[in-house]
């Protein structure tokens, strides 16, 4: 029996050309966001703590501006529409596994036929005076990273006996997931990390590159 192909696809820097959280912070520039990024990078705080702390710097009174900016500023990478169609036509399950925030991910993915339950991201609340990030997809007992949105927990929930797992990503948050899958599609930092550890990967620039590779490589 052949395995079912399943794709775990990152959003920021992968489906979109740029990182939307960084773009929001750079644009609205609330005092104190840059030291938080440094703490995330030197791992003195977790990604969950850092992302929560950065958005807590933004007043909910600017909600409309922030949401509008995020949505209009983002650019979808070439070939994504064709990739979604390719997955549908070939019975490949496509899951979006993103450490980004619902208020920009859902509107940006709306033009594509991806069921809501296949989109994993962080949530948000604009009820208080500053933006509060919600964490509906926490780490399981195998992950101690405090990811916020835990990609490895989602990947682990699909059993490797029945699924051929494919990850598409660009960054550190995809790297732990990349260790758990059969095939890695990488760009940017994820390429450097795969090279350092001698992980086999396919480099991609557009989703057309990924379609071409998947077509060339029949299901195991």
Binding interface with Mg ion (CB under 5 A): 10, 12-13, 170-171
Assess 139 for contact with Zn ion (CB under 5 A). Answer: yes
**164 contact choice in Zn ion, Mg ion, none (CB below 5 to 8 Å, kind-dependent):** none
Assess 46 for contact with Zn ion (CB under 5 A). Answer: no
Dist CA 155 CA 72 (whole Å): 31
Q: At which residue do the structure tokens 């005092």 appear?
A: 31
Helix (H, G, I), strand (E, B) or coil at 33: helix
Task: Return the number of the residue (5 or 48) whose C-beta is nearest Zn ion.
Answer: 48
Assess 18 for contact with Zn ion (CB under 5 A). Answer: no
Task: Return the number of the residue (36 or 139) whose C-beta is nearest Zn ion.
Answer: 139
- Residue 12's nearest CA partner among 25, 4, 21 is 21
Give the contacts of 76 (CB within 8 A, at least 6 positions apart).
Answer: 15, 16, 17, 108
Angle between helices 207-216 and 80-89 (to 10 degrees): 30
Q: Figure out which of the listed residues 7, 9, 70, 147 binds Zn ion, where binding follows CB under 5 A.
A: 147
Assess 150 for contact with Zn ion (CB under 5 A). Answer: yes
Count the residues of the shown chain that bind Zn ion, applying the rule CB under 5 A.
5
Please state the closest distance from residue 218 (CB atom) to Zn ion, in A: 32
**171 contact choice in Mg ion, Zn ion, none (CB below 5 to 8 Å, kind-dependent):** Mg ion
Radius of gyration of the chain (CA): 17
Task: Return the number of the residue (121 or 124) whose C-beta is nearest Mg ion.
Answer: 121
Task: Return the number of the residue (10 or 164) whose C-beta is nearest Mg ion.
Answer: 10
Specify whether the backbone of 148 is left (phi greater than 0), alpha (psi in -120 to 50) or beta. left
The residues of the shown chain that bind Zn ion, judged by CB under 5 A, are 139, 143, 145, 147, 150
């Amino acid at each position: 029996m052949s395995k079912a192909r399943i794709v775990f696809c990152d959003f920021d820097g992968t489906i979109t050309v740029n990182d939307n959280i960084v773009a929001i912070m750079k644009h609205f520039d609330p005092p104190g966001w840059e030291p938080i990024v440094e703490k995330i990078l030197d791992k003195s705080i977790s990604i969950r703590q850092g992302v929560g702390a950065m958005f807590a710097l933004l007043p909910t009174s600017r909600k409309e501006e922030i949401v509008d900016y995020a949505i209009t500023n983002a650019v979808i990478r070439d070939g994504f529409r064709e990739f979604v169609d390719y997955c549908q036509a070939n019975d490949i399950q496509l899951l979006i596994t993103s450490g980004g925030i619902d208020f920009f991910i859902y509107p940006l993915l709306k033009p594509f036929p991806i069921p809501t339950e296949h989109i994993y991201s962080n949530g948000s609340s604009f009820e208080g005076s500053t933006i509060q990030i919600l964490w509906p997809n926490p780490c399981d007992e195998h992950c101690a990273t405090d990811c916020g949105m835990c990609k490895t927990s989602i990947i682990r929930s699909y059993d490797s006996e029945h699924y051929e797992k494919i990850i598409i990503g660009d960054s550190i948050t995809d790297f732990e997931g990349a260790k758990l899958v059969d095939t890695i599609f990488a760009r940017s930092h994820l390429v450097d990390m795969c090279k350092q550890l001698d992980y086999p990967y396919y480099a991609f620039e557009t989703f057309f590159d990924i379609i071409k590779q998947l077509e060339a490589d029949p299901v195991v």
